[in-house]
Structure 1
Amino acid sequence: MPRKVTIFNLKLHDFRNYASVGLGLDGRNVVLTGANGAGKTNLMEAVSFLSPGRGLRRAAYGDVAREGAAGGFAVFAALDGMQGEVEIGTGTETGEEGQTRRLRVNGTPARSLDELLDHLRVLWLTPSMDGLFTGASSERRRFLDRLVLSLDPDHGRRVADFEKAMRGRNRLLSEPRPDPQWLDALERQMAELGVAMTLARRELVGLLSGIVEASRDEGPFPSAAMSLSGFLDDALEQPAYEIEETYAAVLRDGRYRDAAAGRTLDGPHRVDLLIRHREKDMDAARCSTGEQKALLVGLVLAHAGLVAGMTGYAPVLLLDEITAHLDEGRRAALFDRVDALGGQAFLTGTDRAMFEALGDRARFLTVANGTIAG
Structure 2
Amino acid sequence: MDNKFKEDFELELDSDDVEVDCAMIEPVHPIPPADLSKELPTKDIRYTSIESGYGSVTSYNSACDSGLIDEFANLKLAQIKETVEPSKPCDLYDEPKEKDIDGLRPDQPATKPEYSENEELLLEIFKPDKDGDSQLHMAIIQLLAPIALYFINLVPSHHWLNLPNNLLQVPLHLATITRQTVIVRKLMTAGAEIVARDYKGDTPLHIACREGFDDVAKILLTPIQYNETGEIRYEMEQQKVPQDTQLMNYNGQSCLHLAAERCHLPILRLLLQNNADINIKDGKCGKTILHYAAETRNSVLLEFLLQHLNIIDLNATTYGGLTAVQLADGRDFSDIVSTLRRNGAIYTPLPVEENDSDEEMNE
Q: Is TM > 0.5 for Structure 1 vs Structure 2?
A: no
> What TM-score do the two structures reach when normalised by structure 2?
0.26
Structure having the larger proportion of residues in strand: 1
Structure with the greater alpha carbon radius of gyration: 2
> What TM-score do the two structures reach when normalised by structure 1?
0.25
